[in-house]
């Protein structure tokens, strides 16, 4: 049988169960709860990133299972897959990749649409908040599960007055896989 190629993000998204506002509003409620509990905006950013990371390390399994994506040859391909397949499959939006550095280890993922921020306006008291910080955690966590240590930072944020959402993803190192796998540890 011929190997099955990777599926497009659109095809996967067309086949999964979907949901609109519940997600957005639940995310808003989560952020609000964190702001009440932790008081410091900086702490909220950290907690959102941690939650994203937890999601990322689980989400990668579903992603690989549904997308038929095989090992990416380089970081460039990885970034394209995240933007075209990953974002589409889970959030229903497509992102673009740009601003590569010379050695291909750092790029920007740019989102025009962002379902997390419908109905959201940042009040003056939350100016330091990265409202969508959960996304950077998700990317970091998911990539860590495929042996890539990355650093993800926000460059632009519409809620802060920019014209798009821009996440900078920087490859720190490829963690060599250890053989043999020890399943029972």
Partner 1 sequence: PLSKGKQEVSLSAFAFLFSELVQYNQTQVDNIAELERRLEDAGYAVGARVLELLCHRDKGNRRETRLLGILSFVHSTVWKVLFGKVADSLEKGTEHEDEYMISEKELLVNRFISIPKDMGTFNCGAFVAGIVRGVLDSAGFPAVVTAHFVPVEGQQRPRTTILIKFAEEQKYP
Q: For residues 68-97, which are near partner 1 according to CB under 8 A? A: 89-93
Of positions 5, 103, 119, 123, contacts partner 1 by CB under 8 A = 119
d(CA 130, CA 110): 15
Q: Does 131 bind partner 1 (CB under 8 A)?
A: no
Interface stretch with partner 1, choices 18-26, 69-77, 97-105, 172-180 (CB under 8 A): 18-26
Of positions 7, 76, 94, 113, contacts partner 1 by CB under 8 A = 113
Which among 92, 78, 84, 185 is positioned nearest to 142, based on CA atoms?
78
d(CA 45, CA 40): 9
Q: Does 144 bind partner 1 (CB under 8 A)?
A: no
How would DSSP label each residue in 104-157?
SSEEEEEES--GGGTT----GGGTT--TTHHHHHHHHHHHHHTTEEEEEEEEE-
Interface stretch with partner 1, choices 9-17, 104-112, 124-132, 143-151 (CB under 8 A): 9-17
- Through-space distance between the first and last CA atoms of the chain, rounded to whole angstroms: 35
Of positions 16, 40, 70, 127, contacts partner 1 by CB under 8 A = 16
The contacts of residue 148 (CB under 8 Å, 6+ apart) are 75, 78, 171, 173, 174, 175
Dmax of the chain from CA atoms? 59
Q: Does 37 bind partner 1 (CB under 8 A)?
A: yes
Rounded to the nearest whole angstrom, what is the least distance from the CB of residue 3 to partner 1 in the complex? 25
Which among 128, 142, 116, 153 is positioned nearest to 30, based on CA atoms?
116
Interface stretch with partner 1, choices 27-35, 97-105, 144-152, 168-176 (CB under 8 A): 27-35
Of positions 8, 10, 11, 23, contacts partner 1 by CB under 8 A = 23
The contact set with partner 1 (CB under 8 A) reads: 13, 16-30, 32-34, 37, 47, 51, 54-55, 58-59, 62, 89-93, 113, 115, 117-119, 134
């Amino acid at each position: 049988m011929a190997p099955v190629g990777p599926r497009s993000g659109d095809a996967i998204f067309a086949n999964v169960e979907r949901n609109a506002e519940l997600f957005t509003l639940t995310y808003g409620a989560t952020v609000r709860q964190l702001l009440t509990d932790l008081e410091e905006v900086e702490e909220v950013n950290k907690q959102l990133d941690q939650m994203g990371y937890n999601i990322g390390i689980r989400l990668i399994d579903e992603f690989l299972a549904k997308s038929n994506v095989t090992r990416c040859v380089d970081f460039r391909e990885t970034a394209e897959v995240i933007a075209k397949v990953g974002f589409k499959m889970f959030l229903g939006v497509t992102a673009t990749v740009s601003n590569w550095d010379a050695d291909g280890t750092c790029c920007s993922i740019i989102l025009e649409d962002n379902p997390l921020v419908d109905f959201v306006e940042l009040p003056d008291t939350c100016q330091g908040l990265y409202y969508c910080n959960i996304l950077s955690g998700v990317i970091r966590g998911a990539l860590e599960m495929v042996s890539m240590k990355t650093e993800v930072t926000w460059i632009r944020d519409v809620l802060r007055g920019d014209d798009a959402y821009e996440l900078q993803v920087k490859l720190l190192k490829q963690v060599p896989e250890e053989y043999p796998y020890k399943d029972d540890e």
